[in-house]
A and B are shown apart, each in its own frame.
Chain A
Amino acid sequence: MVDDWKNGGFAIYVHWPFCQAKCPYCDFNSHVSREIDQERWKAAYLAEIDRYAAQTPDRVLTSVFFGGGTPSLMDPDVVHAILDRIRYHWPAANDLEVTLEANPSSVEASRFRGYAAAGVTRVSMGIQALNNADLQRLGRLHSVEEAIAAFAIAREQFDRVSFDLIYARQDQNLDAWQQELEQALSMAVDHLSLYQLTIESGTAFGDRYDRGKLRGLPTDDLAADMYHATQEICQSAGYDTYEVSNHARPGCESQHNRVYWRYGDFVGIGPGAHGRLSIGGGRFATVAHSAPGRWLTAATDGSTELHREPISREHQADEFLMMGLRLSEGIDTERYAALADRALPTEKLQHLSDIGMVELIPGNLRVTPEGRAVLNSITRELLSG
Chain B
Amino acid sequence: MVRMTELSHIRNFSIVAHIDHGKSTLADRLIQSTGTVQDRDMKAQMLDAMDIERERGITIKANTVRIDYKADDGETYVLNLIDTPGHVDFSYEVSRSMQAVEGSLLVVDSTQGVEAQTLANVYQAIDADHELIPVLNKIDLPAADCDRVAEQIEDVIGIDASGAIHVSAKTGIGIHETLEAIVKHLPPPEGKRDAPLVAMLVDSRYDSYLGVIVLVRIMDGVLRKGDRIRMMQNGSVHTVDRIGVFRPKMEAVDELGPGEIGYITAQIKQVRDTRVGDTITHEKKGAEKPLPGFKPSQPVVFCGLFPMDSAEFEDLREAIEKLALNDASFSYEVESSAALGFGFRCGFLGLLHLEVIRDRIEREYGIELITTAPSVIYHVYMKDGSCVELHNPADMPDMTHVDHVEEPRIKATILVPDEFLGDVLKLCQDRRGIQEDLTYAGSRAMVVYDLPLNEVVFDFYDRLKSVTRGYASFDYYITGYRTDNLVRMSILVNDEPVDALATMVHRDRAEMRGRAMVEKLKELIPRHMFKIPIQAAIGGKVIARETLAALRKDVTAKCYGGDVSRKRKLLDKQKAGKKKMRQFGKVEIPQSAFINALKMDG
Contact = CB atoms under 8 A, between A and B. Distances in A.
B156 interface: no
Range class of the B interface residue count: 20 to 34
B553 A195 contact: no
Contacts of B557: 195-198, 244-245
A357 interface: yes
B556 interface: yes
B558 A376 contact: no
Interface stretch (B2-10, B394-402, B540-548, B570-578): B570-578
Interface string A354-385: 01010000000000000111111111100101
A301 interface: no
A378 to B, nearest CB: 7
Contact of B555 (A257, A272, A376, A385): A376
A274 B556 CA distance: 19
A267 to B, nearest CB: 10
Interface in B516-574: 528-530, 551-562, 564-565, 567-568, 571-572, 574
B564 A260 contact: yes
A355 B530 contact: yes
A318 B564 CA distance: 10
A151 interface: no
A319 interface: yes
Contacts of A357: 529
B148 interface: no
B567 A322 contact: yes
A223 interface: yes
A385 B572 contact: yes
Contacts of B185: none
B558 A195 contact: yes
A149 interface: no
B568 A378 contact: no
Contact of A224 (B553, B556, B561, B564): B553
B575 A383 contact: yes
Interface string A188-202: 000000011110000
A163 B558 CA distance: 14
B249 interface: no
Nearest to A244: B555
Contact of A276 (B529, B561, B567, B575): B561
B569 to A, nearest CB: 9
Range class of the A interface residue count: 35 or more
B536 to A, nearest CB: 25
Contacts of B363: none
B509 interface: no
A374 B562 contact: no
Interface in A186-236: 195-198, 220-221, 223-224, 227
Contacts of A375: 554-556
Contacts of B574: 376, 380
A220 B555 contact: no
A323 B529 contact: no
Nearest to A200: B558
Given A285-B565, A326-B559, A379 B571 contact: yes
A111 to B, nearest CB: 24
B556 A376 contact: yes
A351 interface: yes
B586 interface: yes
Interface in A221-271: 221, 223-224, 227, 244-245, 257, 259-260, 266, 268
A274 B568 CA distance: 14
B551 A274 contact: no
Q: Counting chain B CB atoms within 10 Å of each CB, which of A197, A224, A259 scores highest?
A: A224
B555 A374 contact: yes
A257 B560 contact: yes
A201 to B, nearest CB: 12
B568 A318 contact: yes
B176 to A, nearest CB: 53
A127 interface: no
Given A195-B558, A319-B568, A385 B575 contact: yes
A260 B555 contact: no
A196 B571 CA distance: 19
A322 B551 contact: no
A315 interface: yes
Given A260-B561, A319-B564, A220 B552 contact: yes
Contacts of A244: 555-557, 559
Interface in B17-48: none
Given A274-B561, A276-B564, A372 B529 contact: no
Nearest to A351: B586
A13 interface: yes
Nearest to B556: A376
A315 B561 contact: no
Nearest to B528: A377
Contact of B554 (A13, A260, A322, A376): A376
A272 B566 CA distance: 13
A339 interface: no
A246 B558 CA distance: 10
A196 B558 CA distance: 9
Contacts of B529: 352, 355, 357, 371, 374, 377-378
Contacts of A245: 557-558
A198 B566 CA distance: 15
A275 B568 CA distance: 15
A260 B560 contact: yes
A142 to B, nearest CB: 21
A98 interface: no
B575 to A, nearest CB: 5
A273 interface: yes
Contact of A322 (B530, B553, B568): B568
Contact of B578 (A260, A318, A380): A380
B439 to A, nearest CB: 49
B553 A223 contact: yes
B376 to A, nearest CB: 38
A332 to B, nearest CB: 18
A319 B567 CA distance: 9
Contacts of A223: 553
A259 B560 CA distance: 10
A374 B554 contact: yes
A373 B560 contact: no
Q: Counting chain B CB atoms within 10 Å of each CB, which of A276, A352, A376 scores highest?
A: A376
B554 A377 contact: yes
A220 B526 CA distance: 14
A375 B559 CA distance: 12
A378 B558 CA distance: 17
A377 B530 CA distance: 11
Contacts of A227: 553, 555
B412 to A, nearest CB: 42
A221 B551 contact: no
Given A322-B568, A377-B529, A272 B562 contact: yes
B259 to A, nearest CB: 61
B127 to A, nearest CB: 56
Contacts of A220: 552-553
Q: Counting chain A CB atoms within 10 Å of each CB, which of B529, B574, B578 scores highest?
A: B529
Interface of A: 13, 195-198, 220-221, 223-224, 227, 244-245, 257, 259-260, 266, 268, 272-276, 285, 287, 315, 318-319, 322-323, 326, 351-352, 355, 357, 371-380, 383, 385
29 contacts: A13-B562, A195-B558, A196-B557, A197-B557, A198-B558, A221-B552, A244-B555, A244-B556, A245-B558, A259-B561, A260-B560, A268-B561, A273-B562, A274-B565, A285-B564, A315-B568, A318-B572, A322-B559, A355-B529, A373-B552, A374-B553, A375-B555, A375-B556, A377-B551, A377-B554, A379-B571, A380-B575, A383-B571, A383-B575
What are the 10 closest A-B residue pairs judged by CB atoms, nearest first?
A: A224-B552, A224-B553, A375-B555, A274-B562, A195-B557, A374-B554, A260-B561, A376-B554, A355-B530, A196-B557
Given A223-B553, A355-B529, 11 more contacts: A224-B552, A227-B555, A244-B555, A260-B561, A266-B561, A276-B561, A315-B568, A323-B559, A352-B529, A371-B529, A374-B552
